[in-house]
């Protein structure tokens, strides 16, 4: 009954994700012989069509437009710094709001990701673990973005946890996911671009790298995916486009050799 009600206004992937979490809890309870498995043979019900992969991210040209618009407004609030980081790092939202000042190495231009911050009711309060073991990573950033944060740290007030995206008025003490999404939507609408979510910036980051022929193994590591299969599955649409380009390049290589 719960799944039917929950799925009456949501996409298949959302319902499947919730059902998976419930099943994990049930499995633990079964191992302790507390309950029987009531999730077995559950039929997933949903009404909202899942978004196509290409709808979850911006094109290369759109991402260029967004980056320039963010940079133009970078001094108009901490939210723009969050959007900047999301687009140029590919981090998950929980990883970004979990960043502290000491995670930034301005000599090496790297950011260390080893924790998250609870920004929703269902999350643990305060600092929490990353999504998986592979999500603990250090990523290299471009100097311009790092210089911005170095300057920002000199002017913004400190807080007890040294959080970068601290917000004293927010319920969870960091920039809320809702407000971040509103700012992104406002910015994209201004540019005449169909809005995506904050998580869509992560997909955009990966898609841009793949489009520019960055190794999929590197992209997988940078995103903190559990395995490369996750990367291949999520970015099939980009890989397909690249394969078509590789087909043309291969034909030209041997044509040139023969000619």
Res. 1 pLDDT band, cuts 50 70 90: confident
For residue 246, count other CB atoms closer than 10 A to its CB.
12
- Say yes or no: 235 and 128 in one domain: no
- Say yes or no: 100 and 154 in one domain: yes
- Say yes or no: 130 and 238 in one domain: no
Q: What is the model's pLDDT at position 124?
A: 82
| Structural domain of 19 | 1-50
- Say yes or no: 168 and 190 in one domain: yes
- Say yes or no: 68 and 147 in one domain: yes
**What digits encode the pLDDT tens for the residues 109-120?**
999 999 999 999
Report residue 119 CA to chain centroid gap.
Answer: 14
Q: What is the CATH number of the domain that holds 193?
A: 1.10.443.10
- Say yes or no: 94 and 177 in one domain: yes
- Say yes or no: 107 and 197 in one domain: yes
- Say yes or no: 188 and 126 in one domain: yes
- Say yes or no: 158 and 222 in one domain: no
**What digits encode the pLDDT tens for the residues 153-173?**
999 999 999 999 999 999 999
Average pLDDT over residues 142-157: 97
In whole angstroms, how far apart are CA 189 and each of 70, 74, 113, 186, 204?
13, 17, 31, 5, 17
- Say yes or no: 116 and 46 in one domain: no
How many independent structural domains does the chain possess? 3
- Say yes or no: 38 and 119 in one domain: no
Distance of alpha carbon 30 from alpha carbon 237, whole angstroms: 40
According to DSSP, residue 103 is labeled: G
pTM of the complete model: 0.77
């Amino acid at each position: 009954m719960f799944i039917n009600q929950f799925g009456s206004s949501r996409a298949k992937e959302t319902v499947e994700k919730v059902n998976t979490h419930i099943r994990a809890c049930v499995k633990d309870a079964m191992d302790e012989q507390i309950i029987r498995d009531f999730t077995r043979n559950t039929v997933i019900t949903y009404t909202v069509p899942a978004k196509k992969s290409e709808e979850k991210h911006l094109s290369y040209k759109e991402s260029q437009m967004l980056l320039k618009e963010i940079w133009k407004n970078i001094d108009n609030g901490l939210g723009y710094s969050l959007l900047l980081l999301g687009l140029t790092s590919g981090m998950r939202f929980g990883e970004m709001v979990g960043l502290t000042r000491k995670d930034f190495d301005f000599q090496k231009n790297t950011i260390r990701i080893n924790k998250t911050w609870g920004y929703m009711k269902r999350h643990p309060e305060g600092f929490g673990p990353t999504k998986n073991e592979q999500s603990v990573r250090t990523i290299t950033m471009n100097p311009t973005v790092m210089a911005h944060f170095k300057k920002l740290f000199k002017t913004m007030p400190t807080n007890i946890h040294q959080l970068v995206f601290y917000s004293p008025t927010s319920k969870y003490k960091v920039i809320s996911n809702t407000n971040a999404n509103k700012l992104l939507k406002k910015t994209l609408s201004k540019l005449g671009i169909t809005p995506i979510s904050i998580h869509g910036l992560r997909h955009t980051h990966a898609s841009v790298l793949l489009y520019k022929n960055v190794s999929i193994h590197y992209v997988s590591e940078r995103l903190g995916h559990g395995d490369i299969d996750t990367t291949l599955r999520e970015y099939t649409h980009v890989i397909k486009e690249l394969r078509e380009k590789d087909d043309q390049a291969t034909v030209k290589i041997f044509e040139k050799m023969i000619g």
